[in-house]
Amino acid sequence: MTTAPTPQTIKSVGIIGGGQMGSGIAHVCALAGYDVRITDVSAEALTKAVAGIDANMTRQVARGRVTEEAKNAAMKLISTAPDYAIFKDCDFVIEAATEREEIKREIFKKLTPYLKPSAIIATNTSSISITRLAAVTDRPEHFIGMHFMNPVPVMTLVEVIRGIATDEPTFETVRDMSVKLGKTPVAAEDFPAFIVNRILLPMINEAIYVLHEGVGSVEAIDNAMHLGANHPMGPLALADFIGLDTCLSIMQVLYEGLADSKYRPCPLLVKYVEAGWLGKKAGRGFYDYRGEKPVPTR
């Protein structure tokens, strides 16, 4: 039986996916002094990821949050490759791919043969069962959920989720690593959508129902929650920021996993996703982002 690394032995971090979440995780890991390796489906995606990390760190330098020296040192710790062979010596690998279980399961099946026996595997899933994902690997005891909030360099929370087989050394390692990254870890049980999205996504879904039923316009709903509930942004603007496809995936996980009609995804959310209006990343969602300023689409 292999032994999970202690916190002191985590030196190299592998990241699967160079999108918004993967890049953000790479960003904070490199600033914390970890050797960071990223892979994605294309060379173009990897080039874009590194350029994005560089740009975000440059903004932090301009705001006085990071020194130029720290930024340069962090960027030198980041390397990329098109396949999982880059992870062969990694102590810890985290998956930050699309929020679809079949994609994640396929990734973990292909990943495990490349890893050393002691390596910990984590998933950044925001809703999917850690226990189910762990079961497709060769090391469920060294598998864990590590759900970062978006944008990763700004948000301080990390949900740490054990699967049924996750051992205590793995949990302690990931909790301690979260602290080293400057985050506040919160332990969550392995139930659909964990803590944050179990509460947040039904609220967003309800806001979409309010829009669907004509109770208020996009602007009215967002202004009401921003000014009336003191939310930093309205629920529909937040949905666009998260990605409407991700919102729908999480609601489907809740609806199927808890078998309660209160989690039924709003038909209007389904329609927007079917139209390809996925929010900010697609240029259109509940707002149209293609002009000088966002304009409500409904």
- Rounded Cα–Cα distance for residues 89 and 83 (Å): 14
* 110 contacts 104 by C-beta, under 8 angstroms: no
DSSP 214-260: TSS-HHHHHHHHHHHS--SS-HHHHHHHH-HHHHHHHHHHHHHHH--
> How far lies 72's CA from each of 10, 30, 83, in Å?
21, 10, 25
Q: Is 223 a catalytic residue?
A: no
Catalytic residue among 95, 99, 141, 159: 159
Helix, strand, coil shares of the chain, percent, nearest 5, are 50, 15, 35
Q: Is 159 a catalytic residue?
A: yes
Catalytic residue among 56, 124, 126, 205: 126
**Angle at alpha carbon of residue 165, lines to 163 and 169, rounded to 5°:** 95
Catalytic residue among 56, 197, 205, 249: 197
Q: Is 249 a catalytic residue?
A: no
Catalytic residue among 147, 178, 205, 249: 147
Q: Is 197 a catalytic residue?
A: yes
- Residues classed as catalytic: 126, 147, 159, 197
